[in-house]
Structure 1
């Protein structure tokens, strides 16, 4: 098989894997919200209540819990799009990036959110993936990824800026801000080393 054909096959295979991962991820969010609804919102307890030591255990679960179907619906399209584009760079790299974003974002929410607030949802991860995608091309010095980042910035940039504004009291701007910061940091932490290609299963 010619080298070009192998590259095309790997690209197609990676796109299918990325699509399956993100469809499954978003489907899980909907299933969890359905369980939450039929259990009288019992899963809402897995959100992050600020500065309560026991709540540190909820940092990761909180990224999968939402406060109603409208909440999860509002996050689904952006998570699908950003997650798919990020996962095209390798599934293992994407999972590592996502974990870093969720943990840093959760810690930021735990430290900085107003007292007695319960914060949950995938929006911190979404803002983090946005920051990661915008920076990834510049950090890795890949022209295609630079173009993708600039396109995403042009389409979603104003929404992101509104989402990190402290004037918007109906959302957790702290979660959005720390997610965005974590995504930018992740682009540097998980940057491609020069001359190094990702593993086929990455």
Structure 2
């Protein structure tokens, strides 16, 4: 099989730039931290009231603002969300550049919508980026698993190894933790991975795979190989005979009798 036979389609790398994967998550973090410090600078505004109360029509607008809001009484809240936001959002931009914006916006919206629709109304405000973080982690893990493309499978394994313990966050195990938001985010991420499974980077295909899809019959490589071996064997045997001084002489037996020449005619006198 020649080198051409194993050429693949889409060998140019299909990913985004490292610069974009750093800049955009950094800008998002800057906005998050500006909102966080603004909450301290303007204590009478009560930023948490721009979050979401499930099934409360008055807080529908919180679906857009909820991820940017964090508790001003616990700096650990925003710190714990900042690191995975930067890593997972950066990975999304780098590895899924073509669909990154759509996936991120839909993850942002449907995480909030799922929380608003399905969570219990306890008159508590839900705030924080953690729901979106769960959506990004679920998307990266699921998408890498179903695409069967080695670089994306590597990201899938990375997410499972580093953030696998997040799975416990979708259960009501700790008070004052929005497990419903985590669950909504995880479900959203898995759903988006299947919706966009045909978009973005795909595993390269070998030429023979493309020909098979087009109905082109592949060559009989085994038959070609066997024929070449047979010819090579005959040529080797001929060389060995010549080297031993043996020469093959071919005798041809005519299939027709030779025609009579110079035969006298019936009226010719022979003396």
Interval of TM-score (by shorter of Structure 1 and Structure 2): 0.7 to 0.9
Cα distance per residue 1:97-151 (max 9 Å; x no partner): 1221122211222121342010011000000110001011233331111121112
How far the C-alpha of 1:194 sits from its partner, in A, is 8.8
How far the C-alpha of 1:91 sits from its partner, in A, is 4.3
Distance across 1 between alignment mates of 2:181 and 2:201 = 36
1:189 aligns with 2:195: yes
- Alignment map for 1:30-109 (pairs within 5 Å): 30-40=33-43, 41-68=45-72, 69-91=75-97, 93-109=99-115
Give the match for residue 129 of structure 1: 136
**Could you say if the C-alpha distance between residues 92 and 121 of structure 1 is closer, same or farther in structure 2, counting changes exceeding 3 Å?**
farther
How far the C-alpha of 1:66 sits from its partner, in A, is 1.0
Distance across 2 between alignment mates of 1:25 and 1:113 = 29
Is this contact kept in 2: 1:130–1:152, CA < 8 A?
Answer: yes
Partner of 1:60, secondary structure, is helix
Is this contact kept in 1: 2:134–2:182, CA < 8 A?
Answer: yes
**Could you say if the C-alpha distance between residues 43 and 183 of structure 1 is closer, same or farther in structure 2, counting changes exceeding 3 Å?**
same
**Could you say if the C-alpha distance between residues 91 and 55 of structure 1 is closer, same or farther in structure 2, counting changes exceeding 3 Å?**
farther
Distance across 2 between alignment mates of 1:29 and 1:65 = 7
Q: Number of residue pairs matched?
A: 189
TM-score normalised by structure 1 residue count:
0.84
Runs of 4+ in structure 1 off by over 6 angstroms are 194-197
**Could you say if the C-alpha distance between residues 92 and 60 of structure 1 is closer, same or farther in structure 2, counting changes exceeding 3 Å?**
farther
**Could you say if the C-alpha distance between residues 169 and 141 of structure 1 is closer, same or farther in structure 2, counting changes exceeding 3 Å?**
same
Give the match for residue 169 of structure 1: 175
Query: Can you give the 5+ residue segments of structure 2 that lack an aligned partner in the other structure?
Result: 1-11, 204-271
The higher-RCO structure (CA 8 Å, 6+ apart) is 1
Query: Can you give the 5+ residue segments of structure 1 that lack an aligned partner in the other structure?
Result: 1-6, 198-202
Residue 152 (structure 2) aligned to one of 136, 145, 149: 145
Q: CA RMSD in A?
A: 2.3
